[in-house]
Amino acid sequence: MIDFENSAFFKLKPIDNSKARDDFNKFLIDGEEIFAAFKTIRDQVIFTNKRIIAANVQGITGSRIDYTSIPFNKIQTFSIETSGSLDLDCEIQIYVSAVGKVTFEIKGEFDIVTFNRLISTYVLT
């Protein structure tokens, strides 16, 4: 499992959903669809209409991968921080029961307000 408690945040870059790891598809259930995908150097995070799934690539060879799934129904609170004039990154913070706060920092241009609307739809319904 990704050590959310000891990891300050994940600096993510948005990617096209079609460029998400192929192995994410084996975790998706009927009716579950990816609506956003992000990557770091080796790791990836996807947001679906049901949950967040993070792939943490481990080891030198990268053949070992840890997958963490955070269902939206376990999110207690969430917030977004828009980018500013000097700081072009935006942030998403979620608070998950039994895990605590998880922060995702998104680098570059990203429509965080529309993304917030999608997260709200899935967390609040």
pLDDT band at 2 (very low <50, low <70, confident <90, very high): low
* Domains along the chain with CATH numbers: 10-124 (2.30.29.50)
**Per-residue pLDDT reduced to its tens digit, 70-114:** 999 999 999 998 876 666 788 899 999 878 888 888 987 888 889
Q: What contacts 64, CB < 8 A, 6 or more positions away?
A: 57, 58
Three-state SS for 82-107 is CCCCCCCCEEEEEEECCCEEEEEEEC
Q: Report the percentage of the chain scoring pLDDT > 90.
A: 54
| Angle, CA of 6, 11 and 17, to the nearest 5° | 120
Q: Name the CA dihedral angle for 112, 83, 37, 116, rounded to a multiple of 10 degrees.
A: -20
Please check the confidence at residue 6 and state whether its pLDDT lies above 60.
Answer: no
Q: What pTM does this model have?
A: 0.87
**40: closest CA among 109, 107, 120?**
107
